[in-house]
Structure 1
Amino acid sequence: MLPASDNHMERRRPKVEAKKLGPLLPEEVINHTWCIEEEISAGAFGAVYKAFDLVKGNYVAIKASKTLENSKRSHIRWEAKVYEQFKGSSHCPKMIAYDVNTTPHFLVLELLGPSLSYLVKRLKSKALPKGIVAAIIKQCLGAIKDLHNACFIHRDVKPSNFAVGSGSNRSKIYIIDFGLCRKYCHEKECPFSERFDVGFRGTVRYASTRAHFKKDLCRADDLTSLFYMAYELLAGQLPWKHKSDTNVILSMKLKLPPTTMAEALDVNFKLFAEHLNYTSEPNYEMIEALLVNVMQEDNVDENTLFGWEHLLKKEENISKHKQNCKEIEEQCARKAACAGEEEMGDEK
């Protein structure tokens, strides 16, 4: 195991295509400690699995690289660095361990609940009440602010990169997946000089127009993506949801800037959109105050479970049922093995 490095490492894409690795398989044991159960999600740089800690007796999440990488330029090493510097935030999942001296490289994290994307898709109403949306976005804003204070920008803010906690933390929202994060400044110093034509970073649906133009992204771009998230939750969908052509989506975003989109929303969200024009340090406190206004108008409590409590309980029940079924199968297998040994003994 390696401690998270304090040295800055600028992430660059390899010049040649890296060798792809196969997925981890159920019951595969990693480092004699973590037993893989199932794949939870997969992204560009790695797949996330639910695993059981054979030593401590609890469940964890393991993110494993999908390609064979040099340990010094490993995406897992980079993410571990971000987790190490971001760990002081209450919106940061706990990093348990990581290893880049094995194949595949992997990162062990506390196991969270479902992503916001998963939960919203399963709610009956596609558009949520504005007070609930404000409560969700307020927590997401807090997570982004803490990440920015740790000197990183996320560059891929979207519903699937936020997840709720488990157990007593199911009201808390965590920000996840730091594969596209970039350090934008050294501690207590001005942001690095802007780079030019850096390539597209992010997810097209939620990316800012600056991202489309391949500009060096800044803190305001993370907040623009957060505004698109808020609009989607309030309206049920973004105007370009059914568009696949990137140029068409960019054209729609240019014709419908956040300030125009916010015209149909609450006045507080309109003020939020107007603030996105600033490229210097965002006024997080002002935006948070606007969101609190919306929550108070709708009588939404800070610890509201956002209407998905029943979905979380359903997830837990399904997980418990799967675990019970697995235990029953193991018991049956042991009994069958014992019966087979007895029959062999009788034959002798």
Structure 2
Amino acid sequence: MAQELIQLQPGTQVERWKIEKKLGEGGFGAVYKVSDSTGQYALKVEGVNEQIQVLKMEVFVLTELGKRGGRHFCKIHDKGRYGTFNYVVMTLVGKSLQDLRKEGPGQHMSLGTAIGCGIQALEGLEDLHAIGYLHRDVKPGNYTIGRIGLDELRKIYVLDFGMARKFTNEQGIIRKPRAAAGFRGTVRYAPISCHLQRELCRKDDVESWLYMLVELTTGNLPWKNIQDMHQVGEYKKRCHNTAINELFVGCPYEYRELMTHIDNLKYYDAPDYQYCYRTIRRALTSNGVKELPYDWENKM
């Protein structure tokens, strides 16, 4: 049973952090824009009595990534407990790729921008996999751009590790798959394994990433209007077999090569990230487009 969400009013102080406004809320709790003498940040809160402590996972994963020099992640500036909630203060980021996609003509990005976002989004997953974690909810709503300055406007951040799972043991060995795993993630972008309730692995994050890449590129996924989870799973299977053209209509040919690579991977295999970057960069050349400037740069 979910606890009551912690609601903080603008002007409230949480230690040295002044609440400016609420940015949103999820199953875990709420996110606020806060400030102190050094600038503006995001503060996430979660009740101390929540059954599943999502923030703890978030803090742990981001701390590990910070130690390893992760390229696409928020920095943690403070964390603690205040009254009835735990909180973490991190980098304040900009708009999500979901919002930026919808702002584009035809609700999609230009090809160069979609590919640039795709490369950075996959780099984030590569770094996450390198510390032994799967994301398990890869989607455009969980990636954002930075806020201020050209470098930040061109940087993609990976967010939300509430569904992340460690796939290696303490010795760094990949854990054996569980016989059955419940559905995790978001139906539209979920990998086929998720529909089959199989244990997820690295290739599944990359499969979700490819669906996201298609949507950023064309504004569409062929199953987007189907509500039934089982039917969506069946549609995805067809797209990997006989209906490949339905998925990749309006996409560079290279996206099909990415799918072939992903489909050939098994549970214990590491995706060949370098092959993926090379293949997707080739799509820039073969379509005569440039990655930069990104679509939103001239609007900011």
The equivalent of 2:255 in structure 1 is 269
- Matched residue SS, 1:230: helix
The equivalent of 2:41 in structure 1 is 60
Question: 184, 187, 193: which one pairs with 1:210?
Answer: 193
Question: For structure 1, which runs of at least 5 residues remain unmatched after alignment?
Answer: 1-16, 314-348
CA-to-aligned-CA distance 1:28-81 (integer Å, 9 cap, x gap): 2112x111122222222122211112xx241000111267337xx622111100
The equivalent of 1:287 in structure 2 is 276
Question: For structure 2, which runs of at least 5 residues remain unmatched after alignment?
Answer: none
CA distance in 1, matches of 2:55, 2:9: 19
Q: Percent identity?
A: 31
Preserved CA contact (<8 Å) 2:6 2:85: no
Q: Quote how far apart the aligned CAs of 1:222 are.
A: 0.4
Preserved CA contact (<8 Å) 2:65 2:128: yes
Q: Quote how far apart the aligned CAs of 1:85 are.
A: 0.6
Count matched residues. Answer: 290
The equivalent of 1:98 in structure 2 is 79
1:8-23 maps to which residues of 2 (within 5 A)?
A: 17-23=1-7
Q: Quote how far apart the aligned CAs of 1:176 are.
A: 0.6
Q: Single out whichever of 239-248 and 99-108 deviates more from structure 2.
A: 99-108
CA distance in 1, matches of 2:86, 2:101: 32
Q: Quote how far apart the aligned CAs of 1:236 are.
A: 1.5
CA distance in 2, matches of 1:263, 1:190: 39
CA distance in 2, matches of 1:305, 1:105: 40
Question: 288, 294, 300: which one pairs with 1:306?
Answer: 294
Q: Quote how far apart the aligned CAs of 1:196 are.
A: 2.2
Question: Partner amino acid for 1:25?
Answer: Q
Preserved CA contact (<8 Å) 1:36 1:50: yes
Preserved CA contact (<8 Å) 1:135 1:295: no
**In the alignment, is residue 139 of structure 1 matched against residue 114 of structure 2?**
no
CA distance in 1, matches of 2:2, 2:107: 40
Question: Partner amino acid for 2:8?
Answer: L
The equivalent of 1:79 in structure 2 is 58
The equivalent of 1:191 in structure 2 is 174
**In the alignment, is residue 179 of structure 1 matched against residue 162 of structure 2?**
yes
Q: Quote how far apart the aligned CAs of 1:264 are.
A: 5.7
Preserved CA contact (<8 Å) 2:108 2:217: yes
CA distance in 2, matches of 1:186, 1:135: 33
Q: Quote how far apart the aligned CAs of 1:18 are.
A: 4.3
The equivalent of 1:223 in structure 2 is 206
The equivalent of 2:29 in structure 1 is 46
Larger Rg: 1
- Matched residue SS, 2:94: coil
Q: Quote how far apart the aligned CAs of 1:19 are.
A: 2.5
CA distance in 2, matches of 1:77, 1:50: 20
Task: Identify if the C-alpha distance between structure 1 residues 266 and 248 changes in structure 2 by more than 3 Å, giving closer, same or farther.
Answer: same
The equivalent of 1:316 in structure 2 is none
CA distance in 2, matches of 1:183, 1:156: 14
- Matched residue SS, 1:49: strand
Q: Quote how far apart the aligned CAs of 1:101 are.
A: 6.2
**In the alignment, is residue 26 of structure 1 matched against residue 15 of structure 2?**
no
- Matched residue SS, 1:81: helix
Question: 226, 232, 236: which one pairs with 1:253?
Answer: 236
1:159-178 maps to which residues of 2 (within 5 A)?
A: 159-168=140-149, 169-178=152-161
Q: Quote how far apart the aligned CAs of 1:141 are.
A: 0.7
Q: Single out whichever of 270-279 and 239-248 deviates more from structure 2.
A: 239-248
Task: Identify if the C-alpha distance between structure 1 residues 113 and 263 changes in structure 2 by more than 3 Å, giving closer, same or farther.
Answer: closer
TM-score, normalisation: structure 1: 0.78
Preserved CA contact (<8 Å) 2:133 2:164: yes
CA distance in 1, matches of 2:250, 2:218: 9
